[in-house]
Homo-oligomer: A and B are copies of this chain.
Amino acid sequence: MISGKFAITLHILTLLSKSPDDFLSSEYIAGSMNINPVLVRKEIANLKKHNIVESREGKFGGTRLAKPAVEITLEDIFKMTFETVTLGYCKNDPNPNCPVGKNINESLNALYTDINSQISDKLKGISLLSFSSGF
């Protein structure tokens, strides 16, 4: 199962970018995705840690972007919400007496590192503004 963190975070930011002057509530945002508001608040906590958004507590509280959408890239979001993209690992420790078992994870790591660089390069070129301009 792959977590929806990236997609959820991107969805949140897209909504925020559409109303840059308003503080949107987690409940409102959750309604657009049909998920639980607590999940939204968790991702917002993460966004705040990275200074992408700012929140206001209390009545009429909510969250808004802390910087212009053109200065936020999908790579920023990727790095915040994903460890690394992989094609998976065999989850048990392989047999260290087997030359393949002993070394395959290193080779997989090298491969996956490459793949992540490619993805980062691609995402780096897409700003939140341009992503959300379609909506």
Q: Which residues of B contact A85 (CB under 8 A)?
A: 85, 87
- Residues from chain B with a CB closer than 8 A to the CB of A95 are 31-34
Closest to A2 in B: B88
Task: Report the Cα distance A29→B93, complex, angstroms.
Answer: 14
A12 CB to nearest B CB, Å: 10
For the complex, is A51 an interface residue (Cβ under 8 Å from B)? no
Instruction: Please report the C-alpha to C-alpha distance between residue A3 and residue B87 in the assembled complex, in whole angstroms.
Output: 8
A38 interface residue, CB < 8 Å from B?
A: no
Interface string of A27-67 (1 = CB under 8 A from B): 00001111100000000000000000000000000000000
Interface residues of A in 70-125 (CB under 8 A from B): 74, 78, 81-82, 85-95, 98-101, 103-104, 107-108, 111, 114-115, 118-119, 122
Known: A32-B94, A87-B85, A92-B34. A131 touches B118 (CB 8 A): no
Interface of A is mostly: helix
Interface residues in A, total, Cβ within 8 A? 52
Chain B nearest CB, measured from A37 CB (Å): 13
**Across the interface, do A33 and B92 meet the contact criterion of CB distance under 8 Å?**
yes
Residues of B near A98 (CB, < 8 A) are: 31-32
Asked if A7 meets B87 with Cβ closer than 8 Å, knowing A92-B33, A118-B118, A118-B122, the reply is yes
